[in-house]
Structure 1
Amino acid sequence: MNTAEGRVADSVGNWVDRTAPSAFKPYLRLSRFDRPIGAWLLLLPCWWSAGLAAVAAGAPLPNVWHLVLFFVGAFVMRGAGCTWNDIADHDIDKRVERTRSRPLAAGQVTLSQALAWAILQSLVGFVVLVQFNSFAIATGIASLGIVALYPFMKRFTYWPQSVLGLAFSWGALMGWAAAFGRLDVAPVLLYLGAIAWVIAYDTIYAHQDRDDDLFAGVKSTALLFGSRTRPIVAAFYGAAVLLIGTAGLLAGGGLPFWLGLAAFATHLGWQVTTLDIGDAPRCLKLFRSNRDAGLLLFAGLVVDAML
């Protein structure tokens, strides 16, 4: 970490560090644009839902305009959410080695500046949201309470990852709502499967901070599961595959969907078998690999719609 240049401890050598104007760097780092994996993980359930809707409707492709809107919306709303998270956690972040170099904890921006940046990003996200039908708009707005509560959950429960799952999986409802103007059993099951997926991968991620979280007095499933993490993560990943598979069955998924789901399940199995909760770099690598796992499932849905 080079704190003199304002770099964040777990993100070095990225485009923000290399090329972004100095005045913008703290804000880009607040939004985690130097670490886009979280935006991808927020986006993928949206794309899964759009793909599932295309399969159910017999459309040749997911709605491309919706995919673009979800892409933009995921990146700006993840940025707004991360900024809000840093506002809520700036005192805790100062006591955690991995997060003390974040812009707000390190004093590179003020609380009022961070709040203004969160509001600006949220306004961009709202502009994206209103491009959808009224039911999808209402569905999107319904997620905001969960997003607002999430940063505080680690103070009260060992299950903050479940609240993150509720928030990060919301897109599993949005793609279907945008396509049909309603919700059915299939997208609800997809949502539940995505929640199980999020709980599992964020537990892996949380093992990086296990000791610091104990010191700071905050809670996580990593602390709760401890040495039992591998079988419990395997169970959540298994539930994700089962629920998503049932959603695909109800939507009329064909062989390409099942092949995509099998590739997704194989990837999750690889994560479980290679997990070492005492190896922080390994945990981070496995966490990040979930983008590839999610893209395999999405590819199966797209090919299924095409065929």
Structure 2
Amino acid sequence: MAFLGLFRVSRRLLRSSVSATPSSSFAVLQSQHKSLSNPVTTHYSNPFTKCYPLCNYNYQVWSKGKELHQEKFLGGVGWNYRLVGGMSSSSSSVMEGKPKKDDKEKSDGGGVKEASWIDLYLPEEVRGYAKLARLDKPIGTWLLAWPCMWSIALAADPGSLPSFKYMALFGCGALLLRGAGCTINDLLDQDIDTKVDRTKLRPIASGLLTPFQGIQFLGLQLLLGLGILLQLNNYSRVLGASSLLLVFSYPLMKRFTFWPQAFLGLTINWGALLGWTAVKGSIDPAVVLPLYLSGVCWTLVYDTIYAHQDKEDDVKVGVKSTALRFGDNTKLWLTGFGTASMGFLALSGLSADLGWQYYASLAAASGQLGWQIGTADLSSGPDCSRKFVSNKWFGAIIFSGVVLGRSFQ
């Protein structure tokens, strides 16, 4: 009973501290807003603070048009509380235990980002470098690694599994080269990234890292990548080193052509050539060239979908993309590139004499690619991002088909 009495008294005290009367509360908030041009943060304490430390309230007051709003935070969960026209009532207040859907979409694609595992677990001094290498977004590494894995699996002897040694080497190489490519991209595009909502919080654009620190980190990544390249045969070393020309030139293409996605395809699928040569010591054009071209067409599909997130910002800053080039005909173009990709994959399998399991996987992969193109909402950034990320499964389906088709020959 004593506890209940204390609780009722505390509620009265809290209610009177926040708004003794609607008109006086609104007058105080108005005077605060007029006296300061910046948002005002006012703190109120709960009588139960000593017993319940999470019951401290923080009210942030700001102006939006003619309305004054308060945002109350309780134990890290945001509750929105509105005062309109001097009236305060439960009917005019909105309490939210979860972010609104619109707010979440803005945080996914805009300048406000949700905390990733980098922010939670890595030391502060290395977080910028981890974000520069996009370690919190592994999809880029998957998209770079899958053509390598396809090629290594194709190069396996009939009835054998692909070489785990080369798969491990190329997996590490994909992680390093993808990180190096992102670093080069951020160094060259820092002036553009600051003007695009989705990219303005990248480490160099936001000032978290200096360009010189980015160059130092790039040197480290390339040095580690060289260590992996030296594990391969001489033919593969020359072929792998030649890809750096594409890696360094790709970020510039959006300034000159509407087809930067095609240049990305030429760059990111280089492993389709390199994986075979690492295992065989030579190149077989009948097998690896169709595989490489299929990857280029595949990249045109997924990266055009991805580019639709930024098309409005691209127009503002004056850069180009296939999303702008294709416009309302995007899905027609993507259907053509998707069909070409599957055709080249079939041709590569025929040249490598793969079993029927491979062609079954092509049917499944065609369905996945058709689902992407058919259901993509090109006006929704979050949906474009989800379709883009789903391509890791497309790569996995093709890889499993190559492994099965070669193992059961």
Please tell me whether Structure 1 or Structure 2 has the larger radius of gyration of its CA atoms.
2
Could you say which structure has the higher helix fraction? Answer: 1
Aligned to 2:273: 173
1:233-248 alignment runs, 5 A limit: 233-248=334-349
Aligned to 2:321: 220
Letter in 1 for 2:118: V
How far, CA to CA, are the matches of 2:401 and 2:350 in structure 1? 13
Change (3 A) 1:165 1:10: farther
Change (3 A) 1:86 1:252: same
Cα distance, 1:10 vs structure 2 = 7.8
Equivalent residue for 2:141, pick from 24, 28, 39:
39
Letter in 2 for 1:138: V
Equivalent residue for 1:275, pick from 335, 354, 376:
376
1:104–1:111 contact (8 Å) kept in structure 2: yes
How far, CA to CA, are the matches of 1:53 and 1:12 in structure 2? 42
Task: Report % sequence identity.
Answer: 43
Is 1:102 aligned to 2:216, yes or no? no
Runs of 4+ in structure 1 off by over 6 angstroms are: none
Aligned to 2:399: 298
1:44–1:294 contact (8 Å) kept in structure 2: yes
Is 1:24 aligned to 2:126, yes or no? yes
Aligned to 1:5: none
How far, CA to CA, are the matches of 1:117 and 1:10 in structure 2? 25
Letter in 1 for 2:233: N
Is 1:207 aligned to 2:308, yes or no? yes
How far, CA to CA, are the matches of 2:115 and 2:394 in structure 1? 24
1:11–1:34 contact (8 Å) kept in structure 2: no
1:2-81 alignment runs, 5 A limit: 9=111, 12-54=114-156, 57-81=157-181
Give the TM-score normalised by the residue count of structure 2.
Answer: 0.72
Cα distance, 1:22 vs structure 2 = 1.0
1:257–1:301 contact (8 Å) kept in structure 2: yes
How far, CA to CA, are the matches of 1:23 and 1:305 in structure 2? 46
Aligned to 1:145: 245
Equivalent residue for 1:288, pick from 372, 386, 389:
389
How far, CA to CA, are the matches of 1:240 and 1:17 in structure 2? 38
How far, CA to CA, are the matches of 1:18 and 1:86 in structure 2? 23
How far, CA to CA, are the matches of 1:188 and 1:126 in structure 2? 25
Is 1:84 aligned to 2:211, yes or no? no
Letter in 2 for 1:251: A
- Using CA pairs below 8 Å that are at least 6 residues apart, which structure has the higher relative contact order? 1
- Tell me the SS of whatever aligns to 1:154: helix
How far, CA to CA, are the matches of 1:255 and 1:20 in structure 2? 46
Aligned to 2:60: none
Q: Which runs of 5+ in 2 are unaligned?
A: 1-102, 104-109
Change (3 A) 1:81 1:178: same
How far, CA to CA, are the matches of 2:166 and 2:155 in structure 1? 11
1:11–1:35 contact (8 Å) kept in structure 2: no
Change (3 A) 1:293 1:247: same
Cα distance, 1:32 vs structure 2 = 0.4
Cα distance, 1:255 vs structure 2 = 1.1
